[in-house]
Structure 1
Amino acid sequence: MTTDRGMGGVNETQSAPDVGTLTPDDERRVEAARTSLAERDSILVAFSGGVDSAVVAAIAHDVLGDAAVACTAKSETLPSAELEDARRVATEIGIRHKIVNFSELENPDFVENDGDRCYHCRTMRLGRMYETAHELNITTVCDGTNASDPSEGHRPGLQAVEELSVHSPLREHGFEKDAVRRVADWYGLSVADKPSMACLSSRIPTGLAVTEDRLSRVEKAEAALRQWGFSQFRVRDHDGLARIEVASEELSEALDTDFVIAVRQRLTEIGFDHVTLDLHGYQTGSVSPGGETETDSGDGPVVEDVFETSYPSTE
């Protein structure tokens, strides 16, 4: 990113091509965020590769160059496809990308899966970010919390952000979700329209223990739906019963006889005892309060016409 964006302000030689269009308020917020982040010596961005953290990483890289690092925490709750997305988006931005390992399953409070599961997860994840920042002599940890997040119901993960004094530039400067997407488009980021997706543990109902086996079969089931062309979906694991949710506009495709046969066979192979389709369609947080809004990673291509699609084995 080396062309001049022409907004004025800090480090004008570190910027991206103007692909989308910003409103005057968007421009003001971007400039305020750039100015604020430029005051930091160095920044580590908690980076999922979703649209929110990608915008923070892009702005940080604009103004700090190599003093900005994107850091992704790899664990059992992060689908492998999301890790690859994070790598790809970091490359798009041009920011240094570090991947660190940790396991939420080492924390009994997380495994217990009570109403504060996201608090326990976010505390561990951000703690790992601070450890990495210390190792790299970085002074500030940022995340992608935006100004819309506090109004979206039960959000225990926000408590962890506040307790650990994580800097949230999107929230601080009033970027709501739509504005974040416009800025991502302006930067030319491929995730500008990427659907939100919470970590895999959000697919397991509150009170049912989070285990590696459950996380693994959910990941494999959702990978099959992604391969078959669905764009917004979840596979909920009700202790061996798979409850598939797809976007309301995709329900007719999910009811296609060929798809029903294929998905039943594949999910049975994965390890589910029963396979069902939720006729309410995709809903955030339908098995655990706040569980769908704690992360900003996303998934999936635009849905295809599955009535004209064959469903080969995903193996």
Structure 2
Amino acid sequence: MKPQNVSTVSPPYCLPTLEYNGFPNKECEYWDEIMVQYPPSSESSLFVTTRVTSSEQATSNCSLKSPTCTWNTTAESSIYIGNLNNFTVLLDHTMSAPDFNVQFNAKQLPGMLLDSNGKEMRNLQPPNVIGQQDKDDILTIDTILQAAGIQTLDAPGESNSSRSLRDDGLLLFLFISYSNIYTYSTNKYRYTYEFALIPDSKYKVIEPIYTYDTSHRVIFNRHGIQIFIVQTGTLGRFDFQTMLITFVGGIGLVTVASVIVDIILLRILPKRQDYQKLKYQDSVDHDQNQQELDYEPID
């Protein structure tokens, strides 16, 4: 991830402006992608820093070998990460189905981004790229937030409305869903991205940085956007045995339904005797009619 379309204008949530959207502003620093992402690598998740409180700490003239040794905070400051919405996230993933003998990566499949209502988000502006052949999928942080139904990070937080989402942090699920049953051809595969905000949530990560010895450190209290990635999907193919079992089971259900209807009609309903007459009617004796025709006198 790296910042795109960097603006030289100070964001509205940064000092010297004192307040934005009802929340106090903080000093802003403009970190690059290496500093914003923490930890640098994580399986099936991504954390993007929005606010950092750094605390310089030192031990109280004691050794860490002593159980009574404590840490004192000598300095503390809090900042926002400026222009965070312009950062981009590269999404690369693989679908593998051994039973179907298929395996595809994101560059080989068509894909789409869904909004919080499950509808496709069309006309994405560069640098956003989704589902294009032989191209990496790229989304800006701003587009990710919109897909999750979040208009701004300066809205009230999920767990504490007195703080903004930027200040408190938030949790998102990213569902990557694969399918080959969206058309009549099961040879066509695709994927969808869907971001979901976890209600009543916030997120922070504590990062300790030791300076010139273990008695001096800086604590980064990071708040931000935590994204958990879940790969799922539904794949299907034609199977004659399954079709046959389903067909026979359907016939059995129809038979049972017919028996139940007959019982209700002929034994329970008030006009069951009338229904009995209408259901079972005497037909003409065709053998007798044939005999009468055979022996009909001829003038």
TM-score range, shorter chain: under 0.3
Relative to the length of structure 2, the TM-score reads 0.21
TM-score, normalised on structure 1?
A: 0.20
The structure richer in helix per residue is: 1
Q: Higher relative CO (CA 8 A, sep ≥ 6), structure 1 or 2?
A: 1
User: Which has the larger Rg?
Assistant: 2
